[in-house]
C-alpha cells in the first residue's frame, strides 16, 4: 500500500526514509492475475453461461475480492476499532462491499482492483521521486585508505580522525574533506556543485568529500570529521527539506480531513433524503448505488499524493542544479519574492582579494605591513587573509578585538594598531585623507598609536557570472528591484553596481544597517530574498522572507541560517531557483485543479445517476496517474 496515509488514516506528506522500499515486481502479478479472472467472470456473466448462477457468481467474485482487497479491509477494520471512520480504507471497503450488497459483484471487484493498482503505481512514483533526491547518498563512501607509517589501512570514514592522511586513487571518490598534500589534483565536483567542468586543485587547497579524483593518486590531510563534511551537511539539508510542508500541502491535508467526512454524510443523505420526496417512486438500490459512487470518488489520497510529489520534483530539480532548498515551503515563498537584496563580497564578487598598493605616511612600508599582518592574522575576513598571505608576519598581536563592520584593533610590538575602514578611524577620532573615500578600491586604513600611518589598497574581482545573474533576474517580471548592500565604501559599491546594472546600492553599512534596510523593505510590504555568504550576513539571511547563502565560500553560520543554499557559489543560480519554484507551483496547481475538477464533476454526476461505478474508478485512479506524470515533468525541465 502507498505510504501517503498514516495510521490515523489522514493523508500526509511523503517522508524520505533511509531505506527506500522498491515495489516488488511480484506485487504487480497479483492484480494482473486478478484482472484476468475478473474479465473471465464478466464474460461468463455476460454470456449467461448456465453453471455461472448468482450463488456461483457471488463466490467466484468474492474470492477475487478477498485476495485483492484483504489488506485494505484489514486496515479499515483496525482504523474503525480505533474510532477513525473517515479514511480512504473505510470508504473503499464500504463502497465495494455495498456493491456486493446490490449484486454488482464485478463492479465491486473492479473498484478494489483498480484502487490497488493505482496505489502500486503511486508507490512506485513516490519511490522514484525519493530516489531522484536520495541518489545523493550514492556519493557517500563506505571506506577510505588511511596512510599510517607508509602503509595504507582501509577504514570507514567515520573512524578517521582530523589530521590523519588519506589516499584517493584515480577514479575514486573522496571520502572526507581535506587539504591537498599532493602537488596537484583534477577533480569532478558535479555531485556537489552541479558543474561538470573538472576542477584543478594545488597543494594546500581544500578538497571536499564527494568529489571524484580524475587522474593520478592523491593524498589529503583530513580537515573535518565524517559528520562535519560538506557532503554530510548537504545530505542533511536535503533530507530535512522533505520534512517541511509547504502551505499548499498543509491546505490539501486539512481539506482532505474536512471534505472526507462531509462526503461520507452526503452519501448517507443521498440514500435517505430522496425517500421523503419520491415516496412510492423511491428505489433504494438505485440511490444506494449512487451513494457508493459518491464514496469511491471521495477518497482524497489520489489528490494528496500528487502535491508532495510536485515538491519532490522541485527539490530534486534544484539539487541537480546545485541548489538546496531546506524545505518545500521555501519553494512556495520564493514564488512571491519581488525584491532581491544582495551582499557584495563573496556573493557578487569572488571574495578573493589581492593586495594592490601600500602607501605610508612617515612610516616604513614593510614595518607597517608586518604590524598589520600580525593583527589581521586573527581575522577570517577575506581582506585580512589577503594581507596575511602577501606579507606573513612573525610578530605577535595581543588584546585583539574585531569591531564588527569597522575593522581590527590590537597591540603589536607595544604599539596600538588600528586597521579597517574610515568608520574605524572616525570611531577613535583619528584624522585621515578624506580623498580616500572616493577611491574605487577597497582601502584598509592604518593607524599606529592613534595617528594615521597610511593605507593598503585591496582589489576584489567580480564573479564570472555576476552580470548574467543580474540580467536573468531583470528578465523575471515579478522582480521589481535588485539592491546591493555592502560594508565597503560607497565609491566601490557604486562602481560595481554600475558595471552590473543593479538598481540601487548602499555602501558603508554595518551589519545592523543591512538588517535595518531589509526590515524597512519588509515593512513596506515587499517580499524580500537576501543573498549573502559571511557570518555577518546570518542575521539578515534569517530576517529575509527567503535567505540565500553561498555554499562554497560561505560561512557555516550563513549556510545554517539560510533557507536556500547555492552550492556552486554562482549568483546566476538565484534566477534558476526562482524559475524552478515557479514551475513547481504551476504543476502543483495544475494537479489540484485537475483533481478537484474531475472529482466534483463525477460527484455531481453520481448524485444524479449520470456516472456509474466505472466512471468513479477511472476518475479516482486516472486522476492520480495523470497528476503523478505531471509532477514528474519538473525533473525533466531545463532551467
State the catalytic residues. 343
Compute how many other C-beta atoms are within 10 angstroms of the C-beta atom of residue 316: 24
Q: Which residues contact 133 (CB under 8 A, 6 or more apart)?
A: 16, 238, 242, 312, 315, 316, 319
- Give the separation between CA 326 and CA 625, rounded to whole angstroms: 28
If we measure between CA atoms, which residue out of 600, 405, 429, 553 comes closest to residue 488? Answer: 405
Buried b / exposed e over 89-119, threshold 16 CB at 10 Å, is bbbbbbbbbbbbeeebbbbbbbbbbbbbbbb
First to last CA, the chain: 35
Choose among 341, 408, 279, 281: nearest CA to 574.
341
304 contacts 253 by C-beta, under 8 angstroms: yes
Q: DSSP readout, 217-247?
A: -EEEEE-S-GGGSHHHHHHHHHHHHHHSPPH
Q: Are 185 and 211 in contact, with CB atoms under 8 Å apart?
A: no
CA 292 vs CA 17, 67, 262, 278: distances in Å: 36, 21, 14, 20
Identify the residue whose cell numbers are 602537488. 183
Tell me the C-alpha distance between 122 and 125, whole Å.
5
Query: Among 479, 247, 463, which Cα is nearest to 340's?
Result: 479
DSSP 630: H
133 to each of 2, 93, 130, 234, how far by Cα in Å?
19, 35, 5, 11
For residues 211 and 231, give the distance between their C-alpha atoms in angstroms, rounded to a whole number: 9
Return the number of other C-beta atoms located less than 10 Å from residue 488's C-beta. 24
Whole-angstrom distance, CA of residue 594 vs CA of residue 613: 20
C-alpha grid cell, residue 153:
589501512
Longest dimension (CA), the chain: 118
What whole-number distance in Å separates Cα of residue 301 and Cα of residue 322?
A: 32
- Using an 8 Å Cβ cutoff, are 180 and 207 in contact? yes
Q: Which residue is listed with cell 606579507?
A: 391
- Residue 361 CA to residue 433 CA, distance in Å, equals 11
Task: Copy the grid coordinates of residue 54.
Answer: 448468482
Amino acid at each position: 500500500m502507498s505510504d501517503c496515509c498514516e495510521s490515523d488514516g489522514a493523508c500526509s506528506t511523503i517522508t524520505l526514509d533511509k531505506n527506500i522500499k522498491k515495489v516488488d515486481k511480484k506485487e504487480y502479478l497479483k492484480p494482473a492475475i486478478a484482472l484476468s479472472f475478473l474479465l473471465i467472470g464478466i464474460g461468463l456473466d455476460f454470456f449467461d453461461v448456465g453453471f455461472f448462477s448468482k450463488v456461483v457468481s457471488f463466490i467466484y467474485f468474492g474470492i477475487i475480492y478477498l485476495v485483492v482487497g484483504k489488506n485494505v479491509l484489514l486496515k479499515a477494520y483496525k482504523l474503525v476499532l480505533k474510532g477513525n471512520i473517515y479514511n480512504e480504507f473505510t470508504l473503499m471497503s464500504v463502497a465495494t462491499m455495498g456493491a456486493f450488497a446490490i449484486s454488482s459483484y464485478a463492479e465491486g471487484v473492479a473498484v478494489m482492483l483498480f484502487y490497488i493498482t493505482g496505489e502500486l503505481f503511486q508507490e512506485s512514483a513516490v519511490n522514484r521521486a525519493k530516489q531522484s533526491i536520495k541518489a545523493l547518498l550514492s556519493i557517500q563512501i563506505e571506506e577510505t585508505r588511511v596512510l599510517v607509517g607508509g602503509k595504507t589501512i582501509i577504514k570507514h570514514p567515520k573512524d578517521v580522525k582530523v589530521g590523519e592522511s588519506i589516499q584517493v586513487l584515480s577514479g575514486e571518490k573522496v571520502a572526507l574533506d581535506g587539504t591537498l598534500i599532493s602537488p596537484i589534483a583534477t577533480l569532478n565536483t558535479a555531485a556537489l556543485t552541479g558543474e561538470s567542468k573538472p576542477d584543478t586543485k594545488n597543494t594546500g587547497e581544500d578538497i571536499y568529500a564527494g568529489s571524484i579524483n580524475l587522474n593520478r593518486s592523491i593524498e589529503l590531510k583530513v580537515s573535518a570529521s565524517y559528520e562535519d563534511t560538506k557532503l554530510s551537511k548537504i545530505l542533511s539539508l536535503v533530507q530535512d527539506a522533505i520534512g517541511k510542508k509547504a502551505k499548499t500541502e498543509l491546505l490539501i491535508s486539512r481539506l482532505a480531513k474536512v471534505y472526507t467526512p462531509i462526503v461520507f454524510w452526503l452519501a448517507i443523505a443521498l440514500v435517505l433524503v430522496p425517500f421523503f420526496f419520491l415516496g412510492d417512486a423511491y428505489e433504494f438500490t438505485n440511490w444506494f448505488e449512487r451513494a457508493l459512487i459518491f464514496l469511491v470518488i471521495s477518497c482524497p489520497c489520489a489528490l494528496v499524493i500528487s502535491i508532495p510529489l510536485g515538491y519532490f520534483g522541485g527539490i530534486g530539480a534544484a539539487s541537480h542544479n546545485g541548489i538546496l532548498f531546506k524545505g518545500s515551503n521555501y519553494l512556495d515563498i520564493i514564488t512571491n519574492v519581488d525584491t532581491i537584496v544582495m551582499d557584495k563580497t563573496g556573493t557578487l564578487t569572488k571574495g578573493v582579494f589581492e593586495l594592490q598598493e601600500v602607501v605610508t605616511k612617515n612610516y616604513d612600508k614593510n614595518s607597517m605591513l608586518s604590524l598589520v599582518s600580525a593583527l589581521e592574522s586573527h581575522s577570517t575576513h577575506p581582506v585580512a587573509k589577503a594581507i596575511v598571505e602577501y606579507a606573513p608576519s612573525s610578530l605577535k598581536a595581543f588584546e585583539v578585538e574585531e569591531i564588527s563592520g569597522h575593522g581590527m584593533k590590537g597591540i603589536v610590538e607595544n604599539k596600538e594598531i588600528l586597521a579597517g575602514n574610515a568608520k574605524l578611524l572616525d570611531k577613535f577620532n583619528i584624522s585621515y585623507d578624506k580623498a580616500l573615500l572616493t577611491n574605487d578600491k577597497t582601502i584598509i586604513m592604518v593607524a599606529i598609536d592613534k595617528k594615521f600611518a597610511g593605507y593598503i589598497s585591496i582589489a576584489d574581482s567580480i564573479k564570472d557570472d555576476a552580470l548574467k545573474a543580474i540580467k536573468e533576474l531583470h528578465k523575471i517580471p515579478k522582480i521589481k528591484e535588485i539592491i546591493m548592500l555592502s560594508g565597503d565604501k560607497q565609491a566601490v559599491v557604486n562602481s560595481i553596481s554600475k558595471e552590473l546594472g543593479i538598481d540601487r546600492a548602499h555602501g558603508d553599512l554595518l551589519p545592523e544597517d543591512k538588517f535595518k534596510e531589509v526590515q524597512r523593505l519588509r515593512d513596506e510590504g515587499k517580499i524580500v530574498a537576501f543573498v549573502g555568504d559571511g557570518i555577518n550576513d546570518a542575521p539578515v539571511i534569517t530576517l529575509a522572507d527567503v535567505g540565500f547563502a553561498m555554499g562554497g565560500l560561505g560561512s557555516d553560520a550563513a549556510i545554517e541560517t539560510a533557507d536556500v543554499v547555492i552550492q556552486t557559489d554562482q549568483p546566476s543560480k538565484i534566477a534558476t531557483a526562482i524559475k524552478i519554484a515557479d514551475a513547481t507551483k504551476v504543476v502543483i496547481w495544475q494537479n489540484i485543479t485537475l483533481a478537484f475538477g474531475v472529482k466534483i464533476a463525477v460527484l455531481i454526476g453520481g448524485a444524479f445517476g449520470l456516472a456509474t461505478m466505472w466512471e468513479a474508478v477511472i476518475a479516482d485512479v486516472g486522476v492520480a496517474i495523470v497528476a503523478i506524470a505531471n509532477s514528474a515533468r519538473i525533473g525533466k525541465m531545463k532551467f
